[in-house]
Chains A and B, each alone.
Chain A
Amino acid sequence: MNAEVHDCRDAFAAELLRLAEENPDIVAVCNDSVGSSKLGEFQKRWPERLVNIGIAEQNMVGVAAGLANGGKIPFVCAASCFLTGRALEQIKVDIAYSNANVKLCGMSSGMAYGELGPTHHSIEDFAWTRVIPNLTVAAPADRAETTQAVRWAAQYAGPVFLRLSRMGVPDILPPDQGFTPGQAVQLREGAAVTFIANGTLVCRALEAADILRREGLSCRVLNMSTVRPLDREAVEKAASETRGIVTCEEHSIYGGLGGAVAEVVATSRPCKMRIMGVPGRFAPTGSASWLLDYFGLSPAKIAAAGRGLVRSR
């Protein structure tokens, strides 16, 4: 990866500032995480609109539901592992079941916390959140999509979980692409196999497709940022029009994007599939980039999975 990379939290914070300027109902809620959620500027501009509840995630999510009940539009900003893991029942009951207009923003998801270990990795959050009805679950792929997703969430009346990373990613999508939940964006056309990726793995899937193109295999690449609602149609088309599907996500191979795609494939359009992600075991100590390679999430390994799928016919 030679292209310049960007931390999507910066795009998130910048867009939140613009939205807060436009709409006084927007408030930020966090758990002693002003710095790690990049809310410093927000706090400076509107100290009274930033609720730092302290280290208390369950309370934080419940309070956000109450703020929404009172007409506010809370953006809850916390490390994804604690936001989802600690406050899951609040997310289910207070936010989703009660249809609270709350935007849950999971920071530093996936394995971005690297050597801080499995307690701080958030590779279960798609699985935990995408089974909850009435919750839109999305992982933007770059800073442009992050900006669009934040803007969309602010005007959408209902619960949203945005899964953000601190791991640098290159620019992928055109800035005017827009964001429509449940609609995959096709980044490459091809008939050999389809790579379906989201979040930090989209750039790696694109590199994998480039590797295979040089070998004469042209591959389709879909950016599937929303895992709920999932773009079933795009999955079905990929299953029929290409020779198989490889999913790529910085998440457990169980219950995430791969699981969601497999549910469509198995029940409506069976095809060959590979699920690329973090295998079902706790990570060893290691930095984020070391762990991605350790778990075979490099462009070369992703390409190998695609190649294997083509050959397995």
Chain B
Amino acid sequence: MPLANNRQKRLRGAAQIREIARRIRARDLEMICDAGTGHIGGDLSCTDILATLYFHVLRHTPEHPENPHRDRFVMSKGHCAGALYAVLAEAGFIDADELSTFMAPESRLNGHPGRMKTPGVETSTGPLGHGLPVAVGAAMAAKMENAAWRTFALLGDGELQEGSNWEAAMAAAHFNLDNLAVIVDRNGLQQGAPTETTNTLEPLADKWRAFGWETAETDGHDIDQMMGVFDGLPLKAGRPSCIIARTVKGCGVSFMQNKVEWHHKVPNRDERARAALELARAKIS
């Protein structure tokens, strides 16, 4: 099984993953500044989660992105395509050089991930609330085949205001999809305001549990801790798993952290230089 080839690559220590995450952040900053558009706050908030998934959790074969035995990863918060492309490059799905085409005319690296555009993208996203139903379907297919591959979906917290997520959550529990895990990027901010002053999500873990999911909470920037949680999947046999990752929007750049305007603001020259400096010497967790 070619999946085994990837074992070496997957089994990295937290320190190495942390360094990968640092590189992704730095590259993402460049991509967004060069393109003049992007979603830097949410990118920086999910970078450690993406790095942990791609370099510790997911069983995949970048050289065969359509390997039927691969674990599926669905990037439901599609506006954070920049972070996704940077991790896909680190993992070898695309060439690192291609990242400089981010959002340029005819680039494969669109502002939102397209399944027909970029290798490694399982389904096209951008409109929020699409990823989980697709992930539920994929997990169902694996169950029908008695296959060992698993399905993961990364969701924004504001995204959870979309009703489609809760329709899918109900179905996942009903069909006992313990081969499915959701990671919620719980940074507390959405596009224009905090989630709790817009449309309250708390008590969030209780909601998932009431829908029949087993839940765990983790620091979404503590790679050791996240590795431990992911190693324990499924959290409970017969139940889908929801991991609520507490994160900081804009994590890694002091003046972006927890600032709602950095949802999609683009750094000017001075901000870019300061952010790059911080990311060059960053020790996130």
Contact = CB atoms under 8 A, between A and B. Distances in A.
B162 A55 contact: yes
Contact of A52 (B37, B103, B198): B198
Interface residues of B, number: 34
B163 A81 contact: no
B213 to A, nearest CB: 20
Contacts of B163: 56, 58-59
B127 interface: yes
Interface stretch (B1-9, B58-66, B104-112, B141-149): B104-112
A58 B165 CA distance: 13
Interface in B92-145: 103-112, 114, 116-117, 124-129
A115 B110 contact: yes
A290 B107 CA distance: 13
Interface stretch (A116-124, A237-245, A301-309): A116-124
B258 interface: no
A286 interface: yes
Interface stretch (B46-54, B174-182, B185-193, B276-284): B185-193
A32 B106 contact: no
Contact of B158 (A53, A54, A115, A286): A54
- Residue of B106, B112, B116 with most chain A CB atoms under a 10 A cut-off: B112
Contact of A32 (B35, B111, B198): B198
Nearest to B79: A116
A119 B193 contact: no
Interface string A101-123: 00000000000011111111000
Contact of A35 (B127, B129, B192): B192
Contacts of B195: 54
Contacts of B108: 285
A285 B111 contact: yes
Contact of A53 (B105, B110, B193, B199): B199
B191 A32 contact: yes
29 contacts: A32-B161, A32-B193, A33-B191, A33-B192, A34-B192, A52-B192, A52-B193, A54-B195, A54-B198, A54-B199, A55-B128, A55-B162, A85-B127, A86-B127, A113-B111, A114-B111, A115-B110, A116-B37, A116-B110, A116-B111, A116-B112, A117-B110, A117-B114, A119-B112, A120-B111, A282-B114, A282-B116, A285-B111, A287-B105
Given A55-B158, A115-B104, A290-B105, 18 more contacts: A32-B190, A32-B198, A34-B193, A35-B192, A52-B192, A52-B199, A53-B199, A81-B127, A115-B37, A115-B111, A116-B110, A116-B111, A119-B112, A282-B116, A284-B105, A285-B106, A285-B107, A285-B108
